[in-house]
């Protein structure tokens, strides 16, 4: 079962397998919501098998330091985003649209720095942590972006795409993407996973068929699909 924990500006997810795994930790200020969600499911922070970060941005890694301290459990992050965690900074946030440029000053905030316990370079299986699934590399938004792909056909995709602010079940390009061509390849990789549903870092979930909307056009056209209403 996947529980969406809605933060102030983004989602994190609690995956309830044989053991619970937390995917992302929200933005600074979201910690009470995360702890409340854990309490609601009768989970102590120390019972988390793993805390996986889809990438090192402030609204995903914003409470990693505090949750690492509170839980004593390992925090996993791809090595390519290690510097972001070490500095507690977002680094480059390349806007993909006018909207991205407008909101950037409001979302680009520092966060408590931390050192990940599990700094990985390749994907890895989640079975050792009690969840049927795996972490795969889906870089582009940041160079260390990853997705959690579950055996249920669900994928927690971080900021590879976002949900729509207006339409349910629709995907949109994320506001920021540091390497759109690489992100396009990550979309293709996700599409080959035979997924049913994607759960993004911002706004609502959407069917995996939405991935095809972006893959059926050229990578260059993907760059231009950046306004909100379609």
**Among the candidate windows 20-28, 43-51, 115-123, 152-160, which touches Zn ion by CB under 5 A?**
152-160
CB of 131 to Zn ion, least distance (A): 23
DSSP, res 176: B
Assess 78 for contact with Zn ion (CB under 5 A). no
Cα separation of 34 and 181, whole Å? 33
Among 21, 25, 52, 57, binds Zn ion (CB under 5 A): 57
Nearest CB to Zn ion, comparing residues 66 and 159: 159
Q: Which token pair is 201? A: 């870092």
Q: Pattern of binders to Zn ion over 105-144, x per CB under 5 A?
A: ----------------------------------------
Assess 199 for contact with Zn ion (CB under 5 A). no
Assess 73 for contact with Zn ion (CB under 5 A). no
Nearest CB to Zn ion, comparing residues 70 and 79: 79
Q: Which token pair is 108? A: 């680009």
- Residues near 190 by Cβ (< 8 Å), separated by ≥ 6? 136, 138, 147, 149, 155, 157, 160, 198, 208, 211
CB of 53 to Zn ion, least distance (A): 10
**Among the candidate windows 27-35, 94-102, 159-167, 204-212, which touches Zn ion by CB under 5 A?**
159-167
Shortest-Cβ-distance residue relative to Zn ion: 57
Among 159, 171, 187, 214, binds Zn ion (CB under 5 A): 159
Closest CA to 52 of 89, 92, 81, 93: 81
Closest CA to 184 of 206, 151, 211: 211
Assess 162 for contact with Zn ion (CB under 5 A). no
**Among the candidate windows 27-35, 51-59, 77-85, 191-199, which touches Zn ion by CB under 5 A?**
51-59
Helix or strand (DSSP H, E) at 86 = helix 82-87
Question: Residue 125: is it exposed, middle or buried by C-beta count within 10 angstroms (0-12/13-18/19+)?
Answer: exposed
Cα separation of 41 and 19, whole Å? 12
Assess 24 for contact with Zn ion (CB under 5 A). no
Residue numbers of the site for Zn ion (CB under 5 A)?
Answer: 57, 159
């Amino acid at each position: 079962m996947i529980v969406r924990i809605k933060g102030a500006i983004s989602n994190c997810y609690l995956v309830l397998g044989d053991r619970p795994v937390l995917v992302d930790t929200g933005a600074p200020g979201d910690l009470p919501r995360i702890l409340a969600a854990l309490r609601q499911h009768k989970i102590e922070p120390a019972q988390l098998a793993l805390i996986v970060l889809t990438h090192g941005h402030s609204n995903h890694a914003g409470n990693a330091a505090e949750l690492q301290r509170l839980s004593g459990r390992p925090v996993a992050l791809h090595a390519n985003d290690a510097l972001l965690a070490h500095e507690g900074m977002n680094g480059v946030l390349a806007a993909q649209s006018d909207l991205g440029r407008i909101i950037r000053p409001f979302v680009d905030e520092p966060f408590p720095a931390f050192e990940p316990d599990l700094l990985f370079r390749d994907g890895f299986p989640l079975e050792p942590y009690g969840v049927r699934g795996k972490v795969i590399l889906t870089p582009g938004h940041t160079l260390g972006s990853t997705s959690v792909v579950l055996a249920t056909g669900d994928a927690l995709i971080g900021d590879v795409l976002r949900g729509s602010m207006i339409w349910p079940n629709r995907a949109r390009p994320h506001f920021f993407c540091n390497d759109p061509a690489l992100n396009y390849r990550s979309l293709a990789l996700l599409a080959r996973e035979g997924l049913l549903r994607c759960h993004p870092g911002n706004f609502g979930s959407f069917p995996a068929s939405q991935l095809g909307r972006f893959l059926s056009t050229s990578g260059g056209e993907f760059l231009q699909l950046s306004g909100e209403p379609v």
